[in-house]
Amino acid sequence: MRGMASPWSGSTVAIGGYLVFIAALLLTVIVSAGSIDHAALIIGLLATPLPALVAWLYIESAAWMGPELMCRIVRNAAVLVATTCSFGGFFITIWTFSRLAAFVVLLQIPLWYLAISALSFLRSEEP
């Protein structure tokens, strides 16, 4: 069993974890919809990316990608729908409870991107 290649690489585990997180957040909002402002909008934004997240997980785990243009278009469309709708629903959920937390989350996105990019650059420069 040790020599067998696992279809569960780091990216598929991350996508699967994100799928579970979005589904749990969706169920939480559904259960407490009566006490949350804009619950219908949040539920719509969190439910929309679920099929796209499953498609993205399948694409990454089944080595479905090829060099063809259509493969890249389908993958990029799944990633775009999965990320934009789920980030929107997540952000509006945070905004509903705390405006300050929403601004802090928005501020963290470019900071984490810069930190990860800098680390990747430094790693590529090492001999």
Q: What is the pLDDT, as a whole number, of residue 8? A: 64
Q: With DSSP H G I counted as helix, E B as strand and the rest as coil, what are the percentages for the chain, rounded to 5? A: 80, 0, 20
| Alpha-carbon gap, residue 7 to 61, rounded angstroms | 5
pLDDT tens track for 76-112: 999 999 999 999 999 999 999 999 999 999 999 999 9
pLDDT tens track for 11-56: 888 899 999 999 999 999 999 988 988 899 999 999 999 999 999 8
DSSP 62: T
Residue 102 and residue 91 in contact, taking contact as beta carbons nearer than 8 Å: yes
Question: Helices 49-61 and 39-47 meet at what angle, rounded to 10?
Answer: 20
| Alpha-carbon gap, residue 90 to 59, rounded angstroms | 24
Return the SS3 of 67: coil
Return the SS3 of 28: helix
Q: What is the pLDDT, as a whole number, of residue 2? A: 52
Please state, as a whole number, how many other Cβ atoms lie within 10 Å of the Cβ of residue 15.
21
pLDDT tens track for 48-76: 999 999 998 888 888 777 778 888 888 89
**pTM for the predicted model, two decimal places:** 0.78
